[in-house]
Amino acid sequence: MATQTKAIALHVDDHFDERVAICLFRKHGEERFPGTAVASVVRWKTGDTPDGRPAEAWMAEGVIPIGVGHGPFDEHRKDGSRIPGECAATLVAKALGIAESWELRKLLRFTLQTDEHEASFRQPFVVAGIMKVIRKTNPDH
């Protein structure tokens, strides 16, 4: 039996790709990751796990790190580089077996594009940029 998910961990200034990943878990994750539909969201201050243990140890205890912890749902490597062609949302979609879904294809492509290209945040009506502005102007929410 799979471990019951109690929480999903993000970094403090989470990005659009991590939010999309949470939505994918909430909508499609229950079968493979029980509890993701109702799991709380916790925030980690750095890209590493709070205690230095591997992401897999946290997952065994019911905490799924997304975009942090250098685990299966983090496109950031420990050396600071990225996994080419991946973001948190694409990694989650692959783990859930929905990455090739025609319904999600455009969303995943857009999400990856905005995550890989910082300039996309400067576009006034791109949702990832809007999210960043909202977070900066209202950091407690």
pLDDT digits (tens, 9 = 90+) for 77-119: 989 899 999 999 999 999 999 999 999 999 999 899 888 876 5
Give me the DSSP letters along 22-91: HHHHHHH-TTTSTTTTT-EEEEESSSS-TTS--HHHHHHTTEEESSSTTSTT--B-TTS-B-TT--HHHH
pLDDT digits (tens, 9 = 90+) for 11-31: 988 888 999 999 999 999 999
pTM of the model: 0.85
